[in-house]
């Protein structure tokens, strides 16, 4: 690259730290880490309850946990879409 050319990805080249990239992404889309954390909590709770499920069949317990985890992730995605629409169309000043 010649010295007088501007880099194509200047924003990404200046922001080299992985944690700063991750924090920037979390600020842009805050519901993604919320969905991931909720999924992890549901899976952890499901594993804990697996031992104390009583007479419930294993397959039924796993189906319930899968539905709960998917529901949490879909709910977080829906909230994220609604939040971004609110930010773009309601809060954004009209030009």
Cβ-count burial 81-93 (b if 16+ within 10 Å, e if not):
eeeeeeeeeeeee
Say what the pLDDT of residue 67 is. 92
Say what the pLDDT of residue 18 is. 81
Q: What is the 3-state secondary structure (H, E, C) of 20-43?
A: HHHHHHHHHCCHHHHHHHHHHHHH
Say what the pLDDT of residue 32 is. 78
**Tens digit of each residue's pLDDT, the chain (95 residues):** 555 666 555 555 555 688 887 788 778 777 778 888 888 898 898 888 888 878 888 889 889 988 988 888 888 889 888 888 888 888 876 66
Domain positions in the chain are 62-94
């Amino acid at each position: 690259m010649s010295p007088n050319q501007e880099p194509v990805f200047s924003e990404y080249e200046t922001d080299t730290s992985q944690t700063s990239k991750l924090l920037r992404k979390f600020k842009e889309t805050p519901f993604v880490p919320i969905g991931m954390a909720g999924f992890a909590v549901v899976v952890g709770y499901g594993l804990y309850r697996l031992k104390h499920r009583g007479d419930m069949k294993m397959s039924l317990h796993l189906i319930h946990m899968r539905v709960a985890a998917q529901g949490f992730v879909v709910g977080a995605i829906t909230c994220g879409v609604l939040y971004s629409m609110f930010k773009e169309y309601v809060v954004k000043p009209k030009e």
